[in-house]
Amino acid sequence: MKNHIFFFVLVLELAAFAAPLSTTPSPVDCVRANPAGIKRLWQGISPTVKEWEQGKRTETFEWFEENQFGRTPIGRLKDQKFEESAVVFEASGIRINITCRLPEGASADNPVPVFLFGDHRGGDKPPYAQAEYPNIPTNAITARGYAYVRWNFNDVCPNVSNWGGMSRWPMGIIAWQAVGDKTATNIMRGAKSWGTIGAWAWGNSRVMDWIETRPELDSTRVAVVGHSRGGKTALWTAAQDERFAMAVSNGSGCGGASLGRARGAKAESIKAILKYFPNWFCPAMANLIGRDAELEHDADDLLRLIAPRLVYVGSGSEDIWAGPESEKAAVDSARDLYRAYKFEERIGYHCHKGPHKLLPVDWEKFMDFADIHMKKPSSRDSDEIERMMNSALEKGERELTIGKNPLSGDGVWRLVRAITVPDDFTVIFDGCRVELADLIQDNIIRNAGAAEGNCRPNRNIRILGRNGAVLSGGRRNHYLPRRSGDPNGWRSVGILLCDVSNYEIAGFQMDETQCWAISQERCSDGHLHDIVFNSSDAMFNQDGIDLRKGCHDILIENISGRTGDDTVALTALRDAPGVKATKCGMQIGGNEYRGDKDDIYNVTIRNIRSRSSGGHSIIRLLCCDGIRMHHIKIDGVEEIAAGNEKRSKSVIRIGDAHYSRTRAPRMGEMHNIEVKNVKTSGGNAVVINAPLCDSSFTGFDLPKNARRVKINAPLERVKFDSINIPSGRSRFRFTSSRASATKRIWRIRQKKS
């Protein structure tokens, strides 16, 4: 159970989860977007990501500043003003003219995602006349639901070639920043000073400022696009400015997405690019000449600087100078970090047939990728299920059978909001697959009365499956990197029941839930059975079945498969009285104190055969803050991990003092816990981390490598017997941790019987 360890708390997100409908997050939100003063915790995070976020990314970024692009010395200027189609800087006399094409239906009520295209068309000598970039399929872009925003790099810095040489500044924003005159041409530049690519990237960010002022444009879903030198610019833009959700580089070659250590014999080299285009980069890049294959940080690291946001690279099969093979090699190499983030699908690549061009077919590929990751899904399937349920209710029918989806080619139902089940109603999923649509943040199913802070009781609800029915959290993580659970609120639960009595959940498989698969709060007289879980630890906190405070008289049986976290967990937790911003965000029922009505009791758990792909417990019991847990019967729990599969830390885990909000559990608050017939495949059979009394543990099956039961808290009248000691074992040891000086330490040895 990691449900109360969270990484970051974002006020805007918490507001979003209070909204009546689910929201679409943007990949622009990443782990670096962390408000000051919020403590970062890294449990569940890949060591590779932790190392990257805690220093390696900064080191890599500084290398590109100092050795390739130069340091960008300015950000948003104080005199920056916005016009209908321009960004104006009065002091410098610089004006960025903007073209914007909107799709039908774009409005403040329906802001649309954006493709921002910065181009370099125009003369490279005075007067730097601009030209339109050819073959841009603006009608196709808007027809796909995207806004097309375009500007010309010459507006901030002339598109020079080798005019002026390596040692001198080009004009525009660079000259103005140096000496206050945008027309100055004789400005000597230092080794780490920015070049035109840095200036153009700065211009992209200023256009993003303009996008943020336009209510019909969704500034959280902006893709910055560039071809050739513009592709290099797009990558450097997104590396510096995390507001961009996606970066698209087409044919960017050396200094962009082309991997130097995989450079083809005829591909552009650092020496060649600095000969023809010295002003693009900082003068210090000359030190890299001849070292293309041995750079400390290559193109793959430039792509990694954008992770875990979206990045897409396009090439041309005949573009030998840019090097399609080396561009693909950079993408393949950078996948390791995206894989560590659990977002490998957020980096993409294609190669068109033809030369160094930006073609309509490339735009189609860019939009195909963006459709998956940045577009809001259709509500068609949710509308149809809602229509069928309303029709049944109007006819007085109390049952709805949902088969394969006739509206989709693959028969899958893709939900944009939860299915809500009313009183005295049965929903049967018959041989179908129902999953959350991409990027949707909501439950798959919840009871009709479940509403945050104002839950109404429901009764007699059945959620059943047959003929191989599957409920799924979707095909990718809908939440911010590895942050499912309490910070994302109760909508991250698959099936959520609150204040429900007399209910049944059974007969289906649950795949890759976004955190907990099934959660119940203040529910009673429930039967959960014959459920198969299939979660790979791809998302954080993928428990199977959870009972929260106030649950009682519930039978859980015949559960199998794999869960990312604990398979069955009883978690009696609550916030301190008067707390407004609840830390137990997955508890939709609120923070009202109900005395002993908050207790968890009379729960039977039996015939559980599963494994935790995240290495957590199979059964977890946890109560704190004065809530009691008692009369819990557990019979027949088998951990089924085999071969190289990760073993659980413990099959049965009881208590953890550090989860408490007001105080740790006390003796007498957890009692009458009866555990029988537990089989482990390698880890501890039982770990006890909270005071326990009047309980028993019998019938253990322990292999040779599971030698200990850990006891880290006081026990009173607790029995351990019928322990099966494999042949060859001379002793069985109970040990304690040194976590607290107040805990008693036991070392009990039992000779082989």
pLDDT, one tens digit per residue, over 378-409 is 899 999 999 999 999 999 999 999 999 999 98
Strands 500-506 and 629-639: unpaired
| Cα dihedral 307, 234, 439, 19 sign | positive
Give the integer Cα–Cα distance in Å for 141 and 225: 13
| Residue ranges in 358-512 assigned as alpha helix (H) | 360-374, 380-394
Q: How many residues does the chain have?
A: 753
> Which pair of tokens denotes residue 510?
């649950």
446 in the Ramachandran plot: left (φ > 0), alpha (ψ -120 to 50) or beta? beta
CB atoms near residue 600 (< 10 Å): 25
CA atoms within a 13 Å half-sphere pointing along the CA-CB vector of 386: 14
Task: Output the CA angle 339-342-343, nearest 5 degrees.
Answer: 80
pLDDT beneath 70, residues of the chain: 1-44, 123-126, 161-170, 480-484, 576-584, 657, 705-708, 722-753
Give the integer Cα–Cα distance in Å for 405 and 394: 22
Are the C-beta atoms of 27 and 346 separated by less than 8 Å? Answer: yes
381-751: which CATH topology? Pectate Lyase C-like (2.160.20)
pLDDT at 731: 31
Contacts of 472 (CB under 8 A, 6+ apart): 433, 434, 435, 436, 444, 510, 511, 512, 513
Strands 147-152 and 99-101: antiparallel
pLDDT at 657: 67
Burial class (CB in 10 A: 0-12, 13-18, 19+), 392: middle
pLDDT at 166: 47
pLDDT at 749: 26
Superfamily of domain 48-373: Alpha/Beta hydrolase fold, catalytic domain (3.40.50.1820)
pLDDT at 649: 83
Are the C-beta atoms of 661 and 625 separated by less than 8 Å? Answer: yes
Give the integer Cα–Cα distance in Å for 213 and 202: 18
**Secondary structure (3-state) at 51:** helix
pLDDT at 30: 66
Which regions of the chain carry the CATH code 3.40.50.1820?
Answer: 48-373
pLDDT at 117: 98
Contacts of 602 (CB under 8 A, 6+ apart): 552, 553, 554, 631
Q: What's the pLDDT tens digit per position in 249-263?
A: 999 999 999 999 999
Which regions of the chain carry the CATH code 2.160.20.10?
Answer: 381-751
